[in-house]
A and B are shown apart, each in its own frame.
Chain A
Amino acid sequence: MIKSWSWFNKVSLIVGFAFLYVPIILLVIYSFNESRLVTVWAGFSTKWYGQLFQNEGIMNAAMVTLKVAFLSSTLATIFGTMAGFSMVRFGRFRGRTLFNGMIYAPLVMPEVITGLSLLLMFVAISLDRGLWTITLAHTTFAMCYVAVVIQARLNAFDRSIEEAAMDLGCPPLKTFFVITLPIILPGVLSGWLLSFTLSLDDLVIASFTTGPGATTLPMKIYSMVRFGVTPEINAVSTILIGIIATGVLLASVLHKRRESQRKNDELLASAIP
């Protein structure tokens, strides 16, 4: 516990948080600006939000983004779970370290390169580019994150629990669905949430792999910004921030709740003679 805050600590905390959040707060404030001019405050208004929902271009982009995010995070969760599972469970084999490294590599690969290589592949196999290619692209890179999360979860998993299930007559595949999956579910869910936000965020890879008619929200915002920042952009960004913040908050609240419940349970158990 930190009892007294030194002068230095206070200043660095304020500077750090200001650095992180002042731009975002400014953006949120100006989204409620009456004036069309972004930098001049002319009173509070929610009219830009109203206009936003009239703007077909933005609404379409939002739909595309949500579809892509939902599909790709779901696919990434399924494949990532499978990948993480086999990495942990296949035991040691020749080249395991290499495989492990290859799962991590896309996490540090520059997005431009990932996007470019995916584009080249889609062209090579002459796949029509559009919503599905973005989904595939997002699936491939989000899958790595899920695999890493699942691997961590499974490494802490007591395998004798699965063995106990089989010992009691449960076949291996069923054991996975009724025992393993429910136990690692928090990991799977946080993998899904992570994939979802990654997909919402992404501009670079989506730009590379998109085709006619499939514009995601970040792409739309980026193209609008090139004609100048409008309060509408501030409004849509504020909504995006809201969604992401809610997701993150939800995840941490769930985590907290579980943690405190566990502590309660432990207290209860130790009180029983």
Chain B
Amino acid sequence: MIEANSQEHTVFAPWNEADKEPFVRIENVTKKFGNFVAIDNISLNIFEREFYALLGPSGCGKTTLLRMLAGFEIPTSGRIIIDGEDMSKVPPHKRPVNMMFQSYALFPHMTVEQNIAFGLKQDHLPKAEIADQVERMINLVKLNAFAKRKPEQLSGGQRQRVALARSLAKNPKMLLLDEPLGALDKKLREETQFELMNIQEKLGITFVIVTHDQEEAMTVSSRIAVMDSGTVAQVAPPAEIYEFPNSRKVADFIGDVNIFEGRVADVQADSAQILINASDVPVRTGRSVEAALGETVWVAVRPEKMIVSLNPPKNMTENVLKGEVWDIGYLGKLSVYHVRLQDKRMVTVAMTNRYRETEHTITWEDSVYVSWAPNASVVLMS
């Protein structure tokens, strides 16, 4: 349930506040394994209470970056500063962060309770205090019925909750999560995502989560860092990453997208025109571009922002492509049209099914028009 909030809702965006000190500063960090550069001169700032997602294809260095934060890998060069302290010489067991491992890494010879209590015992807290905190954590992740079980007697989802409780028990200033939901099925995964967000909000801990699932990153995070072979391609809040990707790689990685290569034909204060290569179809954008006339750029348009119609759209001379319906995918609430353009390239359009199947008018091999509004086209310089 979403509580109605009478107070003015302030947007959480510490990265926009000029004088705000980041909680984590990653400064020009490079990590090499032998000659292989796993992390290539990355600089990032993570703020207190952020839910920060590291997103990227397999092998791009997400885990490596996270392990450097936890202290299991030492940067080849560069510095990591957590809460104002340089971490270069601080071993893992002395860092103010805890990690939830991809494989959960539960201690197989201990019960659920003992697993959760382990970190607290290392601080030599009084017994009663440990017991209290363990109980709180068990309640938090709803494992009351399983407290005395060993990890091997638990299902995957239950193990994952033990791992979460264990890593939260010490009340760390920052929690690192390496693909925490990778082993769960879709439904449980979505539930857990919201649970994670709730817990994060309740405890006010900074979360850094690694994932290669872009939907998950969009759902949970305050900001996403899109990584690509050891470098950071873009850091921005989810909506901005989706609506205004800064490169073809990011656009392609986050969601589906149609990308057209073209050249700049006209630049205005609040718009620009680009001619698509080969077909010379004019494309209008909703923002100006910083490019010279004739320069090669790329236009990205999301499938759901396009419309397929049998008749040419009225009063439109730009942003209209002609083609033939090649394939239709019916996905329940959506239909996905694959339209083959006259120059044989394919365009994907997704439209909500507002009408019943029988009322569909567009079908295979129809000649159709694909069109979109100027503010749906995003210009990419690389």
- A and B together in one complex: yes
Q: How far is the CA of A182 from the CA of B114 in the complex (A)?
A: 14
- In the complex, whether B93 has a CB less than 8 A from a CB of chain A is yes
What does the 1/0 interface line of A146-185 toward B look like (CB < 8 Å)? 0000000000001011011111111110000001001100
B108–A163 CB distance below 8 A? no
- In the complex, whether A128 has a CB less than 8 A from a CB of chain B is no
A166–B107 CB distance below 8 A? no
Segment of B44-52, B95-103, B266-274 in the binding face: B95-103
Interface size class of B (residues with CB under 8 A): 20 to 34
A160–B92 CB distance below 8 A? no
A-B contact count (CB 8 A): 73
With A163-B72, A169-B119, A272-B155: A182-B109 Cβ-Cβ less than 8 Å? yes
B170–A169 CB distance below 8 A? yes
B99–A167 CB distance below 8 A? yes
A171–B93 CB distance below 8 A? yes
Q: How far is the CA of A167 from the CA of B73 in the complex (A)?
A: 12
A169–B153 CB distance below 8 A? no
Residues of chain B within 8 A (CB-CB) of A182 are 109
CB distance from B41 to the nearest CB of A (A): 25
Q: How far is the CA of A266 from the CA of B152 in the complex (A)?
A: 7
Among the listed B103, B108, B118, which residue makes an inter-chain contact with A165, where contact means beta carbons less than 8 Å apart?
B118
Which of chain B's residues 87-126 have a Cβ closer than 8 Å to chain A? Answer: 91-95, 97-99, 101-103, 105-109, 118-119, 122-123
Residues of chain A within 8 A (CB-CB) of B122 are 168-170
Among the listed B101, B153, B167, which residue makes an inter-chain contact with A269, where contact means beta carbons less than 8 Å apart?
B153
A168–B103 CB distance below 8 A? no
- In the complex, whether B158 has a CB less than 8 A from a CB of chain A is yes
CB distance from A14 to the nearest CB of B (A): 41
- In the complex, whether B166 has a CB less than 8 A from a CB of chain A is yes
CB distance from B124 to the nearest CB of A (A): 10
Residues of chain A within 8 A (CB-CB) of B167 are 167-168
Which of chain B's residues 329-379 have a Cβ closer than 8 Å to chain A? Answer: none
14 intermolecular pairs with C-beta atoms under 8 Å apart: A160-B105, A164-B166, A167-B97, A167-B99, A168-B118, A169-B94, A183-B108, A265-B153, A269-B153, A269-B154, A269-B155, A270-B155, A272-B155, A272-B158
Interface residues of A (CB under 8 A from B): 158, 160-161, 163-172, 179, 182-183, 262, 265-266, 268-270, 272
